[in-house]
Amino acid sequence: MRIIPAIDIINGKCVRLSKGDYNTKIIYNENPLEVAKMFESHGIEYLHLVDLDGAKSSKIVNHKILEQIASKTTLKIDFGGGLKSDADLKIAFECGANQITGGSIAVKNREIFEKWIAEYGSDKIILGADANNEKVAVSGWLEDSNEDLVPFIQMYQRKGIQYVICTDIAKDGMLEGPSFELYKKILVEVKGIKLIASGGISTFEELPKLAEMGCEGTIIGKAIYEHKISMKDIENFILNN
């Protein structure tokens, strides 16, 4: 299972929110590149970079930070937050993203999202299926859609999607443990999907459990920043898996 630390960006700074609420913002570092280099020094290969300003304004905003991290580290970056147009996608890939994550766009403009899958290939496009009570949430989680989570993922799997990041919003940033039951349900009902668990990771012990269930990756944010999981433990997990 891949370990994928998260860096969320607001105003060029590394922040975390709770349950996606912008009013709960905590700034952890003024310099995201510094954080990315720290991850790299501990054997991390992957990074989940979220442009929260972009998510709010529905267009890419913090692409310079993406470019900086991509050019000054060897991290493979998946980038998301506000990607709404072909131009946004082009900027993200030109600035060094290995993959992009599309969330709201996959609900609100299926035509363009399906075109991206066909054009760039399913190894480059990740489906961001964020859930609130098993309904897909959109617009930086500011609104719920009427889409049921599992059928939504199944539909996009038929369109070629391989990778899905699923965040249970109720868990995100709360350090109360991930949504094991929800992930189990997805893995049972959507055979062959590469599921990346996100939200709520709070202790090291949860990582082997997610790996055992069959998650392809897990995104860790606040647990690292709040020192609930040490980088040493993560380093050992990577070396031994």
* DSSP H helices in the chain: 32-41, 52-57, 63-72, 86-94, 104-108, 110-120, 149-158, 180-189, 206-213, 222-225, 231-240
Tell me the three state secondary structure of residue 28. Answer: strand
Residues 145/137, Cβ–Cβ less than 8 Å: yes
Give residue 113's identity as a one-letter amino acid code: F
Distance CA 135, CA 142 (A): 13
Distance CA 22, CA 40 (A): 28
**Residue 13: φ, ψ to 5°:** -110, 155
* Nearest Cα residue to 75 out of 30, 43, 29, 27: 43
Does residue 168 have an active-site annotation?
no
Q: ∠ CA 138-143-144 to the nearest 5 degrees?
A: 80
Does residue 130 have an active-site annotation?
yes
Residue found by looking up tokens 């996606």 in the block: 20
Burial class (CB in 10 A: 0-12, 13-18, 19+), 126: buried
Catalytic entry in 88, 130, 168, 172: 130
Catalytic entry in 8, 51, 168, 172: 8
**Two tokens, residue 83:** 């990607």
- What positions carry a catalytic annotation? 8, 130
